[in-house]
Structure 1
């Protein structure tokens, strides 16, 4: 039975995302941290891992970015995008609530609601939304901001549902496996990489130019420190397209020449189904025609 590790415990948005990406009969295995989820895949203990990668309100998830950059490579084969609406669980009467716990990203997305409805409560960060619910069960906190699925796992009173300061907020999740042949292109794909930049002037501009001249659209660009020297960064880039396309493969080859290291994180179908836009001179046929022209010149044929 295939096993999918996910950032747990039970009752998180990641569990919901893992369920949407799992195949029939797959076993979902909760683990304590994002790093542990990826470590289980690298060690062969599980077949895949589901982790959050970015939120439309709070941006990239640093723990995922760091875990993808460290250790042996893993690659994404699918993604899921979930609307983020929260449920507030408690074991107390409203007037007795003095502490509200949740993951920092969750607290940031309901700060306005909490200020209006529980102004007396102190906000406490927990490792996950579900861990906050566990803390309420144990008497460590008075209330927890959780994913809606948490109500099926924890026997707590529902204080409020459908809570969100930004109604259209979403979180994107990745399903990651050990490196293998990427899923075939669909025409609506995303390619993710980590580029480790050399310490020289305009290094990032050079990388972005390699994408621009090939008509490649970036869908995400984030920087994280390398944790070595102060001022050294690695860049996480998502681009529209698939490595099977000539323009994407050509761009990655160029980045491999320019960067100190490039880690391929996968080419996979986009959850939103938005097709890639290819400029009039950047299609596969254009690359083949240009390569044939150069080959002909090298062979002395300039007809």
Structure 2
């Protein structure tokens, strides 16, 4: 069965490469690609039923959270993450055929990508003017249309748009990585693997210590918090959505108990998903002590 997947297009973006990776790991099959201009548009396509899934970047090791993606999670009906994949990111500097590096006065790329190549640009094309693009693929397409001199994009984009590559493997931080997620409508979470990540988003009451008391629940239940981000709710000044990643799966009792406590303490708690962690060396949830405590309670209840 064909699955339509919305992604940040056009062809030749790292998001498209992540979509291919999701296909190779069996997360989605028989993919029909739907290129869009933003994470918000990708999520909208899923919410409106024009796509089964959206493939979007959510975080990178150089510039941190992809804020447009975080905001898109709260723009409408709930959506859920089913898989994630990490891709090492390096760029090619590409131009129309025959152009030399000395001729380049303008360069386009996605703003997040610019943060990862600006050191190289300062050293090799110090006077170049940056023009933001909706995606790296769109930047390469702009070069092909003569709208800008050069683009920083995946090398495949040069092949797609018939461009010359002047420099390859450009990255200010070698080994820089971007995490992508596969998002769909809410459903049964991806099965537990023992090395999983769970995400939620919530707001908190404006009361002293409200966030601190919520975070303490993770310590009580021995659940490792992997990340916390805050984004404005866009409803009232000074109110924020808190996004949290946790080590473990919703089927793990310590984590589910912690989330039950969150439901009692937070406003607008939304489950974003449990899925296998792309970080194979990251923290894992150890349920040994919790299991022993549960067994002890069971014995007491039975009179042993």
Q: Which bin holds the TM-score, normalised by the shorter protein?
A: over 0.9
Aligned equivalent of 1:263:
270
Q: Which stretch shows the higher mean deviation, 195-204 or 258-267?
A: 195-204
The alpha carbon displacement at 1:212 in A equals 0.9
The alpha carbon displacement at 1:7 in A equals 1.2
Aligned equivalent of 1:281:
289
2:298 to 274, 278, 292: 292
Do the aligned partners of 1:194 and 1:265 also contact (CA within 8 Å) in 2?
yes
1:163 to 170, 177, 191: 170
Q: What is the CA–CA distance in structure 1 between the aligned matches of 2:297 and 2:232, rounded to whole Å?
A: 38
Structure 1 residue 44 and structure 2 residue 45: aligned? no
Aligned equivalent of 1:26:
31
Q: Which stretch shows the higher mean deviation, 183-192 or 224-233?
A: 224-233
SS in 2 for 1:257: helix
Q: What is the CA–CA distance in structure 2 between the aligned matches of 1:131 and 1:192, rounded to whole Å?
A: 30
Aligned equivalent of 1:4:
5
Q: Which runs of 4+ in 1 moved over 6 A?
A: none
Structure 1 residue 102 and structure 2 residue 103: aligned? no
Do the aligned partners of 1:129 and 1:145 also contact (CA within 8 Å) in 2?
yes
The alpha carbon displacement at 1:138 in A equals 1.6
Stretches of structure 1 that go unaligned for 5 or more consecutive residues are none
Structure 1 residue 16 and structure 2 residue 27: aligned? no
TM-aligned CA distance change 1:132 to 1:202, over 3 Å:
same
Aligned equivalent of 1:53:
58
CA RMSD of aligned residues (A): 1.6
TM-aligned CA distance change 1:24 to 1:119, over 3 Å:
same
Q: What is the CA–CA distance in structure 2 between the aligned matches of 1:197 and 1:169, rounded to whole Å?
A: 34
Structure 1 residue 249 and structure 2 residue 256: aligned? yes
The alpha carbon displacement at 1:293 in A equals 5.9
Aligned equivalent of 2:74:
69
